Structure 1
């Protein structure tokens, strides 16, 4: 009842703001009611667990509808919605069991039911998404395109991500998670492009199929499943970063600059620590309302910054690959550059390569730990992590040993090719992170596929910068060849 009293106070504040025609104060009061009180003080979870998911869905839907209104809405309609919301919340509180009951300790990183026997059932979440997508379609058909797009984005954050479903699916099948995210984005893009109802319904049905597949993944996992997932996560997420880190380390060793390896190790250590801190910080500091959205925007920004540095490193390697006086170059130019600004460039390259994957990796492991309901299951997650880490170390040793046996010119060329490839991939992925963070709605190009593992998305906003990068790469290579030809 004390939580309900706080909730009602914010509803009264919303009424007062409405009467004053203060839209900002109106939305602030409703957001406090929804996130700070109903969600963060656990009333949402209690209602869903001990009353009914339908009641919770009705409360969430009314608040969502009110948040899309402004102070110019018909007063009688607004008051009726507020009163209905108030009555629903009060009835829900009164319907809670009188005997003692408990809600498991909450973490904003991944909400989960802590029953010892079963994992969290995400069936109500999937049904909520379907019901809300039906409302999105209604808004779109009635000409409220911006409202429909906004609501579609809210469904992604409020249901798929906030429920913890995204983390669980991402920990077990990253491709399914990426495909599901792409489907959410495509629905918004189609609406922005003025697509037909049939196209949007087809995109929604594809999303629903993916959610049905996801439901199977979120069922209670065996201990060996948890081991396998934990093993794959660190191997999958760490491999891209490992390629860049290994390339920089091999570069330093091959050029006789092993004394500068502290550049790599310090960047690696800082990135790991900040990855863990970021995973917690984004959820607790920024708050539940915008935590997921903030994380997506930050990940996109980090990726795009990494692209600039990787592109620079790639050309730096390529420009030096054809040097004819390697002994003098190794003893002089690399050492000189490492004592100047390029040492910072290498540090940031390693840092961003690791940090880009780090926070998401931490979140995936936390999702697995929440899914592990016994000490034995938790041990299997830990064992999978250690095994995956060991596999990464073996891969690193192989890459390092192989790179030291080949001539430095083909090594530099091969490394620069890998770095350029990853730069183009990161551009596509970075742009899509910004899309998921609701920075903008993408413009879809019909007929093109989505190939997430190479960062290829059928949107103008991702393909244009990738095309520009490829053109710059070609021009840069031609300029380098021309300079080398003139020198010869």
Structure 2
């Protein structure tokens, strides 16, 4: 365990304080820093403003030499000269700097002929979608369009983040139209037109008046749009805004979860329910539930810094559950005198290393939105595999005390590998997501706050883990087996629901909500057919397994 904690500490401290590899364009990075400076001015936060201006200076230095860079440097110098003056005088300087960056973005929009030719190929994809006759054909062609766009998106993203946001909105509209039941051809063609117009606007070098918002601002804007649509009685538009919110939620859910776990839980549980029941009759009640969420998101937008408590809570939320499972398994192997503890810790270490590598890969090569989707996909698919392994271990825990036969030895070896798999998957499932959270938090907090928060969380998790192992090995063997079995089965139930829900949020699994059933997020219970039915099947499987194992034990005692 000591070696695991040492590795964990080194990885997280290095990852948290290292400079992030920028996957987005240079102008995108400039816009983010300008936005942070504006937020600091609005909050009258002088240290945050100084940090944002220092970051701007570093980013401007990395720009290629051009007339536009000269103008940006001039405006940045004016800003630096004024940053100690009253905040009311700093806002105009930030506006001028933003205008200069926009001029650079517009100039860069003139793409080379080869890039234009590659983007023109997208129009052929949308033409084929318009001619598609069946739902299956449309889905197939939509997948091809998405693949073609993914192959070319850096051309747009590295040139104009505003156009990039418009194209992504067009893709979201296409996806929403395809999911609509019954299929609305007019809406679908309108979504294709929106996508085509965004690409054509980029090729024409048009200026984008407003920089496309990302993260929390984008999510808040979508909910505000839904609220306005409900005010106007436009139910269809409100549904579309909420559907787009769900598809974009992975890009901001990490930040919400870090800052307010209660709000994160509310959004994940309530927004799909609100979308499913929205109608003319429920318009007012939907607004009543939607507006507090909007207000809470707006409050989070104003917060630009984190403390050591935020860093501590991230690891406690993400890591405590995994270490609890691992500690229970270690206590079991020690009490039963079974070889397997080394496999458990080895699985945890390998899972930690693998999650660190995957987090670096996602952070380095994918945009913010895709990184968010990646977190959800990792949690979803890895969780489903973890559930299968936990069922194997849970079944074995329930039935075995001492295995001496050749058949028993083979079973022990098999479950030993399963112990490794459970340990690996529980750490890997949460590890990559945790490291991505820290990567997003690092620029907005001091290295001391980040490191101290991580160390405090590790200390608390260590205390809990040691306590579980210490008291676990002192329990009677049958009670320890029972406690470990219950823990494994309960966690399998929770992880199954949470994993399927994560895949629903990324569109990998459909979502049909039961409006009269409440959510219980802490148990991984969400009111959708796609999560409830598998969990019910899991519960039935556990009941049948328990009954069968008990009957087998009775027959063995009678035979003996």
Smaller-chain TM-score bracket: 0.7 to 0.9
What does residue 99 of structure 1 align with? none
Cα distance in 2, alignment partners of residues 344 and 308 from structure 1: 13
What does residue 221 of structure 2 align with? 127
- Does residue 1:359 correspond to 2:432, yes or no? yes
- Does residue 1:209 correspond to 2:315, yes or no? no
Q: Are residues 189 and 65 of structure 1, via their aligned partners in 2, closer, same or farther at CA, if it must alter by over 3 Å? A: closer
Cα distance in 2, alignment partners of residues 451 and 76 from structure 1: 38
Cα distance in 2, alignment partners of residues 419 and 77 from structure 1: 46
Aligned residues of 2:310 and 2:453 also touching (Cα < 8 A): yes
Secondary structure of 1:457's aligned partner: coil
Cα distance in 2, alignment partners of residues 83 and 442 from structure 1: 30
What does residue 276 of structure 1 align with? 356
State how 1:417-436 maps to structure 2 within 5 Å: 417-436=486-505
Cα distance in 2, alignment partners of residues 137 and 30 from structure 1: 38
Q: In the alignment, which of 41, 44, 59 is matched to residue 158 of structure 2?
A: 41
State how 1:46-125 maps to structure 2 within 5 Å: 86=200, 93=207, 122-123=216-217, 125=219
CA distances 1:130-171 after superposition (whole Å, capped 9, x unpaired): 3378679999956x99xx66x75543444x443xx3222111
Cα distance in 1, alignment partners of residues 194 and 475 from structure 2: 75
Cα distance in 1, alignment partners of residues 421 and 298 from structure 2: 39
Q: In the alignment, which of 242, 251, 269 is matched to residue 332 of structure 2?
A: 251
CA shift for structure 1 position 217: 2.9
Q: In the alignment, which of 368, 376, 379 is matched to residue 299 of structure 1?
A: 379
What does residue 56 of structure 2 align with? none
- Does residue 1:389 correspond to 2:458, yes or no? yes
State how 1:231-250 maps to structure 2 within 5 Å: 231-250=312-331
State how 1:454-465 maps to structure 2 within 5 Å: 454-465=523-534
Alignment size in residue pairs: 432
CA shift for structure 1 position 304: 1.3
Cα distance in 2, alignment partners of residues 29 and 266 from structure 1: 37
Structure 1, unmatched stretches of 5+, are 48-55, 97-102, 104-110, 113-119, 324-328
What does residue 245 of structure 2 align with? 155
Task: Tell me whether 56-65 or 343-352 shows the greater mean CA deviation.
Answer: 56-65
What does residue 100 of structure 1 align with? none
Secondary structure of 2:337's aligned partner: coil
What does residue 413 of structure 2 align with? 340
CA distances 1:200-223 after superposition (whole Å, capped 9, x unpaired): 77446634532421332343356x
Aligned residues of 1:59 and 1:89 also touching (Cα < 8 A): no
Cα distance in 2, alignment partners of residues 396 and 296 from structure 1: 27
Relative to the length of structure 2, the TM-score reads 0.65
Q: CA RMSD in A?
A: 4.3
Q: In the alignment, which of 434, 437, 448 is matched to residue 379 of structure 1?
A: 448
Cα distance in 1, alignment partners of residues 177 and 483 from structure 2: 56
What does residue 446 of structure 1 align with? 515
CA distances 1:362-382 after superposition (whole Å, capped 9, x unpaired): 12212221322xxxx221111
Q: Are residues 207 and 166 of structure 1, via their aligned partners in 2, closer, same or farther at CA, if it must alter by over 3 Å? A: farther
Structure 2, unmatched stretches of 5+, are 1-106, 133-140, 179-184
Cα distance in 2, alignment partners of residues 180 and 335 from structure 1: 48
Aligned residues of 2:276 and 2:515 also touching (Cα < 8 A): no
Q: In the alignment, which of 291, 302, 308 is matched to residue 219 of structure 1?
A: 302
Q: Are residues 468 and 36 of structure 1, via their aligned partners in 2, closer, same or farther at CA, if it must alter by over 3 Å? A: same
Cα distance in 2, alignment partners of residues 297 and 458 from structure 1: 20
CA shift for structure 1 position 176: 1.8
CA distances 1:75-95 after superposition (whole Å, capped 9, x unpaired): 999889856875588676498
- Does residue 1:267 correspond to 2:340, yes or no? no
CA distances 1:179-206 after superposition (whole Å, capped 9, x unpaired): 213334335544xxxx534447744663
Relative to the length of structure 1, the TM-score reads 0.73
Cα distance in 2, alignment partners of residues 484 and 94 from structure 1: 72
What does residue 31 of structure 1 align with? 149
Cα distance in 1, alignment partners of residues 440 and 492 from structure 2: 29
CA shift for structure 1 position 357: 1.1
Secondary structure of 1:180's aligned partner: helix
